[in-house]
């Protein structure tokens, strides 16, 4: 997976490639699709949701420019797979999921894999999670209707937000960096496709 799907397709950060190689993806996919665990695509995990394509997880992780010291907010725990990958790249992961059954399953899978430093929270993360802010980085794993100022305001100085933002029938993976004097630097990383971010600051469910 690392050699064929990630390296050479834009993933060059060795820390990300190592983390992707270290997390057993099969532990996060449902029993019936375990044989497809390393296929080059998203897979259903129930409740109309998916475990993201490995390339998308790697792309988001790489775009966050993590050094290892950050507290990272993840919105959209889903299977828990991306939280496990993130846990190799930063100090602490706070991961929010709106579907409680998925939070429970993700927690069990993370425990089974011995992943530490991930706290799963069940709730609507469309407006971030201000109670635990500020974050060194925020990763959104669902498509947002717009670039949310509420999320940017939960970053510490120099922090990065990576979020798929709606555009032309799909999404554009977008990175916002909060500068030292409060300025916002917005970069478009590339087109992507995600399930919708549903909630108060997202789409209607
Ligand atoms: N990163 C996940 C992919 C999850 S797909 C993985 O590796 O498996 C996106 C997830 O975002 C879904 O589980 C969906 O339920 C969740 N989601 C959508 N809107 C949300 C919101 N407002 N708050 C928290 N989670 C949300």
- Give the residue whose CA is nearest to atom 16 of ligand 1: 76
Q: What is the 3-state secondary structure (H, E, C) of the chain?
A: CHHHHHCCCCCCCHHHHHHHHHCCHHHHCCHHHHHHCCCCCCEEEECCEEECCHHHHHHHHHHCCCCCCCEEEEECCCCCHHHHHHHCCCCEEEEEECCHHHHHHHHHHHHHCCCCCEEEEECCCCCCCHHHCCEEEEEECCEECCCCHHHHCCEEEEEEEEEEEEECCEEEEEEEEECCCCCEEEEEEEEECCCECECCCCECC
Pairing of strands 118-122, 170-178: unpaired
pLDDT for the residue 168: 87
Residue 199 lies in a domain: no
Closest atom of ligand 1 to CA, residue 47? 15
pLDDT for the residue 148: 94
Residue 75 lies in a domain: yes
pLDDT for the residue 110: 98
CATH number, domain at 76? Answer: 3.40.50.150
184 CA to middle of ligand 1, Å? 25
Walk along the chain (205 residues) and give the pLDDT tens digit of each residue: 999 999 989 999 999 999 999 999 999 999 999 999 999 999 999 999 999 999 999 999 999 999 999 999 999 999 999 999 999 999 999 999 999 999 999 999 999 999 999 999 999 999 999 999 999 999 999 999 999 999 999 999 999 999 999 998 899 999 999 998 999 999 999 999 999 999 999 999 8
Ligand 1 binding pocket mutation candidate from 43, 45, 59, 78 (most atoms within 8 A of CB)? 78
| Residue-wise burial string across 178-202, b where 16 or more C-beta atoms lie within 10 A, e elsewhere | beeeeeeeeeebeebebbbbbbebb
What tokens appear for 130 in the block? 């201000």
119 CA to middle of ligand 1, Å? 15
Residue 100 lies in a domain: yes
- Give the residue whose CA is nearest to atom 11 of ligand 1: 76
Q: Which domain holds residue 65?
A: 2-192
Report the predicted TM-score, pTM, of the whole model to 2 decimal places: 0.98
Q: CA 85 to CA 130: how far, in whole Å?
A: 23
2 CA to middle of ligand 1, Å? 23
pLDDT for the residue 8: 86
Residue 197 lies in a domain: no
Residue 16 lies in a domain: yes
- CA distance readout (Å), 191 to 9, 82, 98: 14, 19, 25
Ligand 1 site residues (CB inside 6 A) read: 49-52, 57, 75-76, 78-79, 81-82, 96-99, 102, 124-126, 141-142, 195, 197-199, 202
181 CA to middle of ligand 1, Å? 32
What tokens appear for 76 in the block? 């959209």
Q: Domain count for the chain, please give it.
A: 1
Q: What are the residues facing 85 on neighbouring strands?
A: none
pLDDT for the residue 105: 98
* Residues involved in catalysis: 52
Residue 198 lies in a domain: no
Residue 151 lies in a domain: yes
Residue 205 lies in a domain: no
């Amino acid at each position: 997976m690392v050699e064929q799907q990630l390296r050479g397709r834009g993933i060059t950060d060795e820390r990300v490639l190592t983390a992707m190689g270290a997390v057993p993806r099969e532990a996060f996919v449902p029993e019936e699709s375990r044989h497809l665990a390393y296929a080059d695509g998203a897979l259903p995990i129930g409740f109309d949701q998916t475990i993201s394509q490995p390339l998308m997880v790697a792309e988001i992780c790489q775009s966050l420019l993590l050094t290892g010291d950050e507290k990272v907010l993840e919105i959209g725990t889903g299977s828990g797979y991306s939280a496990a990958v993130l846990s190799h790249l930063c100090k602490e992961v706070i991961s929010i999921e709106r579907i409680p059954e998925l939070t429970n399953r993700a927690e069990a899978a993370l425990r089974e894999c011995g992943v530490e430093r991930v706290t799963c929270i069940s709730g609507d993360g469309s407006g971030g999670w201000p109670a635990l802010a500020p974050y060194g980085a925020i990763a959104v794993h669902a498509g947002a209707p717009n670039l949310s100022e509420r999320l940017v305001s939960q970053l510490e100085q120099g922090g990065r937000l990576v979020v798929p933002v709606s555009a032309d029938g799909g999404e554009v993976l977008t990175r916002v960096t909060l500068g030292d004097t409060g300025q916002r630097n917005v970069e478009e990383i590339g087109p992507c496709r995600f399930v919708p971010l549903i909630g108060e600051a997202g789409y209607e469910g």
